[in-house]
Chains A and B, each alone.
Chain A
């Protein structure tokens, strides 16, 4: 494990450095507090630090305060090492944010034991962070497909649409549904059905840009938001998604299964007065139209009064008339 040693006295620094190296540590040694902070805020900084109290430029107590003020992502276990041994000094040292306090000259066995305590605390912190991140993921993602779950995708989309309205850009909302998915489950079983859902999710996710969003809306329905989208190319992008799914079978655990999707598309620029719920409803209505038109196609929602584009669309893509 890596450890930072901050000590201005060359003899103490060398003694600590060599002792810790013998104990199996990889040591970074610095001469003052400012250098210690510079090392501790680096991307791959050591998580464990031994800090002398009295140092030029910035003392050990100031280093502790500065590190706690910064609230670095990865917790740093800070041990103050000082020849100040009064009760008042120890309390002041710990109050500054140090995790432990050792007096000089250090006893090797005690130092090793204290460092092991530091390891345990850091490991515990790592486990807690891991558990928190796992819970956060589970709370925000669909467990089967690992896409955003319904609550999160709707909320993200809501923020995105508000942003696009402020910036006068366009967000394309696509409601995608796997055609005849029930028959996949009935014919091949739910395990194969899950394979199909995972693969469709993967293809959708991999086909959009990093700043677009894909979520599982429910059962076999997926919600896709293309942010800062050129309204003129939204339909062709929806067509790309459709052919990406229907173009080749899904390789499941047992056999290849061919599925297609229907897509209902609504552009935020066409529904400037709508709430996110109303816009999603428009996309949903367009999806129903796509289903009614025989499935495996794209339908585009248009505001009332715009009907002239209907005949200009290709067979697979038609504008939905309200």
Chain B
């Protein structure tokens, strides 16, 4: 059975998961490579979340769809399944210009990432999450 990290950070959704075991299997157990990817993720996730917040604020659904798509890709690649599903749903909602759904899904995605990012930071700091 896979080991999944369930975040315990305050304010996160109970479904916040990061399948680190599956990710490590795909990376061939390369810890250095994992760190390299997580450093990229820490930066790129925040940049794309900021872009998404700006896009929904200005009603730019095309941009919102693009950033949701990018987030979906990186989250899937890092085995962050639940967050990836939220990003996928946001991509669809923004493509269909569903304002209310887009706003709600973006909020859920932000919460999901807020649950994962401390685990990422902990991993980068060398502590076992």
Residues of A within 8 A of B (CB): 8-12, 14-15, 18, 22, 52, 54, 83, 104-105, 108
Contact = CB atoms under 8 A, between A and B. Distances in A.
Contact of A18 (B33, B69, B73, B79): B33
24 contacts: A9-B70, A9-B74, A10-B40, A10-B44, A11-B37, A11-B40, A11-B41, A11-B44, A11-B73, A11-B77, A12-B73, A12-B77, A14-B36, A14-B37, A18-B33, A22-B28, A54-B70, A83-B69, A83-B72, A83-B88, A104-B73, A104-B77, A105-B76, A105-B77
User: Which applies to chain B's interface (DSSP): helix, strand, loop or mixed?
Assistant: helix
Contacts of B74: 9, 11-12
Contacts of B44: 9-11
B51 to A, nearest CB: 13
Interface size class of B (residues with CB under 8 A): 10 to 19
Interface of B: 26, 28, 33, 36-37, 40-41, 44, 66, 69-70, 72-74, 76-79, 88
Contacts of B41: 11
A104 B40 contact: no
Select the residue from B28, B41, B73, B88 with max chain A CB neighbours within 10 A.
Answer: B73
Contacts of A54: 66, 69-70
Nearest to A105: B76
Contacts of B78: 11
B73 A9 contact: yes
Contacts of A15: 37, 77
A54 B76 CA distance: 15
B73 to A, nearest CB: 5
B81 to A, nearest CB: 10
A104 B88 CA distance: 12
Contacts of A18: 33
Nearest to B81: A105
Q: Which 10 A-B pairs have the closest CB atoms?
A: A11-B74, A105-B76, A9-B73, A105-B77, A11-B40, A10-B40, A54-B69, A12-B73, A12-B77, A9-B70
